[in-house]
Structure 1
């Protein structure tokens, strides 16, 4: 009995020692594995940290002032409206002042009309108006031809003005036409329908520029004793002869 108790106690002690031995072995193995895992973890973390590529530098944020607006740190492209912004351009043409140097009055820069007058009798009136951009000189007297007459109509020398008539744009000069002379002093008056007007130059020799062809008032009669005056600045001065 006592032998069995001792044997049982011995077996129990032996089992206890085996259990303690296994626990100690497991504890050492766990500690070793934990230590190994603990020491390996920092190394693995460091390897991952060192192998990670450096982060890209972030681009500066572009601030905007509203939907669809240009970023504040971006210069907007220049826009052209077709105008010259680098300086002024000198214009010519319509802005250029007309040439004020006087020229000769001719059919090209004037308008000529012929009308009847009530006084004096048997007279016509020529009106010459400057239609150009500058002044012109109405030299001497107009040279007249009725229809197909071979000779120019006589000029009345007593009507010569003291100075050459100068016409600014829009101004007019006048010349009177005495159609006939004293009754019975020459051939009978002839009817005319057309009048050609030529213009004198500065020299007074011949004619210059473009002539003008006018239709005469109805029932116009003329003879060789008639006359035409010099150009006058006033209508009354022309009709005084």
Structure 2
């Protein structure tokens, strides 16, 4: 029995390696073993950002699939502020969902953006006006960024971070 589990595990690992070698435009695997879906791209997605009352110093980033086919969003969005590249906010690894988030046409996914430390301990604080959102392809960004005007008086510091994509707003804002 143990040997059979090892063989099954090795086969799954091998499949994952083969899938990873397929390239950045590959499809994302489905957690339920269903059909493989294409990755969402910024050309077939609409992004919005809004302030939230709780938790403090947070905003909610929403991506909506505007394409005609289902697609998947991987990991966390890659974000940059104003003239920054997409290293402007670190991903919160603990927020990784148990499955890849797949969006049917018209459906949305959510990511919580922590803008600054709540206790004021963050460094290099500044006001920002623009958010550049990239979708992760597994090997970096997928397509060009979508530039979004931020709400007035958005303040960030070096502690800025973003959650992985979530299917529920409440999951995105618990981090």
Instruction: Give the TM-score taking structure 2 as reference length.
Output: 0.75
Contact 2:111–2:166 (Cα < 8 Å) also in 1: yes
Cα deviation, residue 144, structure 1: 0.4
Please show how residues 1-241 of structure 1 align to structure 2 within 5 Å: 102-150=37-85, 151-201=87-137, 204-241=138-175
Q: Residue 115 and residue 208 in structure 1: after superposition, are their counterparts in 2 closer, same or farther (change >3 A)?
A: same
Q: Which segments of structure 1 move beyond 4 Å, counting only runs of 4 or more?
A: none
Higher helix proportion: 1
Q: Which has the larger radius of gyration?
A: 1
Instruction: Give the TM-score taking structure 1 as reference length.
Output: 0.55
RMSD, aligned CA: 1.6
Contact 1:101–1:134 (Cα < 8 Å) also in 2: no
Gaps of 5+ in 2: 1-34
Contact 1:159–1:230 (Cα < 8 Å) also in 2: yes
Q: Residue 101 and residue 188 in structure 1: after superposition, are their counterparts in 2 closer, same or farther (change >3 A)?
A: closer
Q: Residue 152 and residue 226 in structure 1: after superposition, are their counterparts in 2 closer, same or farther (change >3 A)?
A: closer
Aligned residues: 140
Gaps of 5+ in 1: 1-99
CA distance in 2, matches of 1:167, 1:186: 35
Higher strand proportion: 2
